[in-house]
Amino acid sequence: MRSCSTYLAASVLSVVTAAAAPSLASNIAAPAAVAPGTAGGPEAMQELVVEGRHEGPRMWVVRSGDHTLWILGTISPLPKKMVWQPDAVEEALKQTQEVVPAWPSYGIGANPITALRVYIAWRHLQKPPDNLPLKESLPAPLYARVEALRIRYAPHDNKIEQMRPMLAARELLTHVLDAAGLALRNEVQQEVLTLAARHGVRVRQDKLRIEDPVDVIKDVGATPLSSEVACLDAVVTLLETDLGNMQARARAWALGDVDALRQIPHADDRTACIAAVSTSERVRKLIARAQDNWLIAVTDSLGRNRGTLAVQSMERLLGEQGTLATLRARGYIVEGP
């Protein structure tokens, strides 16, 4: 029961460009699609719609004495036309003094020269390695698979040909998600923050300052072409094989069907793309800081407040190295669905 990952390549770009180019700062989910001719494949694909009243997503409960932390686990992507029931969230908010979002906000300082340098570095990053078109950057068999997806889902999108492989992967994901009725952006956290404001609950939005944003972007831009190609290959494979499961996971989350979430197969789509952006020690440290800051924030809030509500992706919550296991190892009582 693990959500499709947020691609760290795009997350890093989101982090370092947020101040200079807000429209470019979006987290990119890593969805997948069923291959043509298979059950539930594109020929039979229909938009996923989840509506009406249902139990809604479940939460984990972490206890320390008489202090309680509720954690809403999210997945991405989710249905575009989803109506989820936040009843459990609203009940928790009645007993909560603080809400902790899944990620800190990011800052590069107020220096306009730094913001301009970040924007210039971002624009440079858009260019493919050696300014080669995608066809000349990829092995012929992989390029043919990319073209098949582009023609099927985005026949009028010619920008992909001039993109570097990592960004071409993002572009394909966008089109496939839309065709599957899945939303690229996860709006669940925003709904939680809106409910918190309605209930008068404060939000703890810590800020992670990036001291060297231009160097971070340059490090990402220096990703070896072979690593970018491996990332794109992994994404294309998922786009060819797994859309049915992606839709099923999204529906199960919206309905609060945890048993179904645990049973639905989930391919590991992260390894190649994480490796692509993790060749830089600077980038690895930035990602680790962002992840560590959330755990520091929730444990601090749990110690200070009788009630705390936090949001986090199931990908980071679950597993032997996940946050829930870490909290158990630290002696907290963790209860969940």
Rounded percentage of the chain residues whose pLDDT exceeds 70: 78
Rounded percentage of the chain residues whose pLDDT exceeds 90: 30
Residue type, position 220, single letter: V
Rounded Cα distance, 166 and 171, in Å: 9
* 3-state class (DSSP) for residue 266: coil
DSSP state string for 31-70: ---BPTTSTT-GGG-------S------EEEEEETTEEEE
- pLDDT tens per residue across span 153-211: 889 988 999 999 988 988 898 888 888 788 766 678 888 999 999 999 999 988 877 77
pLDDT at 34 over 90: no
pLDDT at 337 over 70: yes
Mean pLDDT of the chain: 78
**Per-residue model confidence (pLDDT) at position 114:** 74
Rounded Cα distance, 337 and 324, in Å: 12
Q: In this predicted structure, which of 51-55, 213-217, 245-249, 262-266 has the lowest mean pLDDT?
A: 51-55
Rounded Cα distance, 287 and 200, in Å: 31
Closest listed residue to residue 276, CA positions, set 177, 165, 185: 165
Provide φ and ψ at 207, rounded to 5°.
-115, 130
Instruction: Out of 2-6, 114-118, 223-227, give the one with best mean pLDDT.
Output: 223-227
CA atoms within 13 A on the CB side of 108: 26
What is the mean pLDDT of the segment spanning 325-330?
94
More confident call, 61 vs 244: 61
What is the mean pLDDT of the segment spanning 48-53?
54
